[in-house]
Each structure stands twice: as C-alpha cells, then as structure tokens.
Structure 1
Amino acid sequence: MLNEFKQFIMRGNAIDLAVGVVMGAAFTSIVKSIVTNLIGPIIGIFAGAVDLSSLKFSIGPAVFKYGAVLNQVINFIIVGFIIFLIIKAINKFFKKNEKKEDAEAESEVKLLTDIRAELKKSNQSTNKA
C-alpha cells in the first residue's frame, strides 16, 4: 500500500496538482495584498473611506459589511483577468506551434505529390519505350 501511494505521488499529475495548489495559494495572497494595499485605497478615496473592508451599514442589529464583499469582488476580477491573460498566452503559443506544424505538413504533402507526379512520368516513359 505504501508503494502504491509512493507511485501515485511520483506521477506527474499529482505533483503538478500540488505545485498548482501551492502557487495558487501564493498568488491569492499577492492579489489580496494588491487589492488591500493598492487598489482599495484608490477606490476608498472616491468612496470616502480608505479601507474598503470597514465600509458597512446597519439595519437594527444586523450589520452589512459591503466593503469586505467589494474587496472579494475586486480580488475575483483581478484573479480572473490574470488567469485569462495566462490562458490567452498559452493558447497563442500553441496556435503558433500548430501553424508551424501545419506549414511543415503542407510542404511534406506538396513534396510527396511532386514525387508521385515524377514517378508517374518516369513510369509512363518507361512503359512507352
């Protein structure tokens, strides 16, 4: 059982997933810091408060902390935008490689077509003689 677990962990997928989770957690803390320390104060200038997480209103005993929700929405938008940019870059890279492969395949097809045509010509000239 221990060997099976070791084999599972050593497979690429499990290690890639672990690295992705750790990187995601680190990335989330960076984005949270950017929102809290840079973007939040800028928005806070217009909203009338420097710290968005302190924005709230009360109705009776209920307290609605809409500033904290705004922080999370901003975090979500930033993370989503950065993931979008990363995926866009990856797709662009793969499309570039696909175009190169397609061009190589087309040149191979043309070369093979030319070879076939030459073989037909040589067979026809051999058959006539």
Structure 2
Amino acid sequence: MSTFFQEFKDFAVKGNMIDMAVGIIIGTAFNNVVNTLVKKVVMPPLSLMTDGINFADRKYVLRESPDGTQSISIGYGELIEVLIDFTVIAFTIFIVIKFINKFKNKAEDPKNKEVVTPKNLELLSNIEHLMQEQNKILKERGKNI
C-alpha cells in the first residue's frame, strides 16, 4: 500500500499534476476572457451590422406550443456565437503558440547568444560539432592513404 502512495506522491510532485492544475486554472480564466471579448466586444458591432439582431436570441421555431409558453426550436444564434468563440480562441492560441515557438527556436539555437540554450541542447550541439570535426579528419586521412 505504501508503494501506491509513493507512486501518487511522485506523480503529483514531479509536475504532472501541478502542470495540469495550472493549465486548467489558466484555461478557465482564458475562457472567461474570451467569453467577455466575444459577448461585449465582437457581438455588439456584429449586431449593428445585422440591424440590431441579438444572435443569442435567434432561433428557428419548429413548432409552437398551444399555450405559447414553450416551443420547439433550433437555436442557431447560439451556434453562431459559439463558432465566433471558437474562432477567437483558435486564433488567440495560434498567435500565442507562434510567439512561444519563436522564442523556443531562439533558445534551441546554440549559435544564438541572446537567449540561454538549455544544457542538454548545448551538450548535443557540442557532440555534433565534435563528430563533424572527427568525420572531417577521417575523410582527410582516407584521401592521404
């Protein structure tokens, strides 16, 4: 039983659980930002362009109820808002990943002295450089034989 708890402790402490929790918290906050951006910034001008129509209220009624309180309808306006949400989120994530990759590529380039290269990549770069020198020496020896 103690190995089970040890495995769980290793899992939680090594970062998997912590990284996941941070990602969920940031994702939730990001979701609130995007929802506000879409509902308060994007949708009002879009509503103006469509003659003041509120997309969330747009629906296609399939059948009215006899008493007029409930109807069966397709809420296509909400679908439009969700698609706009999705587009904003996808575009924002694309920009963020593009920005991160730009710095990641700089950090992974051992010749770039502006950004600190991770030690494992620096060591691999040194090994690659030494192997290139060794191959060059071996080729020169082969020509001289």
TM-score by length of 1: 0.71
Matched letter for residue 33 of structure 1: T
Residues 47, 53 of structure 2: 8 Å contact kept: yes
Q: Does 1:26 align with 2:48?
A: no
* Residues 29-66 of structure 1, C-alpha deviations (whole Å, 9 max, x = no match): 11011111111111111223353211122133431211
Larger Rg: 1
Distance 1:83 1:14 in 2: 22
Residues 49, 55 of structure 1: 8 Å contact kept: no
Segments of 5+ residues of structure 1 without an aligned counterpart are 118-129
Q: Does 1:51 align with 2:61?
A: no
Distance 1:94 1:46 in 2: 41
Q: Does 1:81 align with 2:91?
A: yes
Against the structure 1 CA distance between its residues 103 and 31, is the aligned structure 2 distance closer, same or farther, given a 3 Å change threshold?
closer
Against the structure 1 CA distance between its residues 38 and 65, is the aligned structure 2 distance closer, same or farther, given a 3 Å change threshold?
same
Aligned equivalent of 1:97, options 102, 107, 111: 107
Aligned to 1:69: 79
Residues 41, 52 of structure 1: 8 Å contact kept: no
Aligned to 2:15: 12
Aligned to 1:40: 43
Identity of matched residues, %: 30
TM-score by length of 2: 0.64
Distance apart, 1:6 and its partner CA: 2.7
Matched letter for residue 73 of structure 1: L
Aligned equivalent of 2:63, options 60, 64, 81: 60
Distance 1:75 1:98 in 2: 34
Distance 1:77 1:25 in 2: 17
Distance apart, 1:5 and its partner CA: 2.4
Q: How many residues align?
A: 112
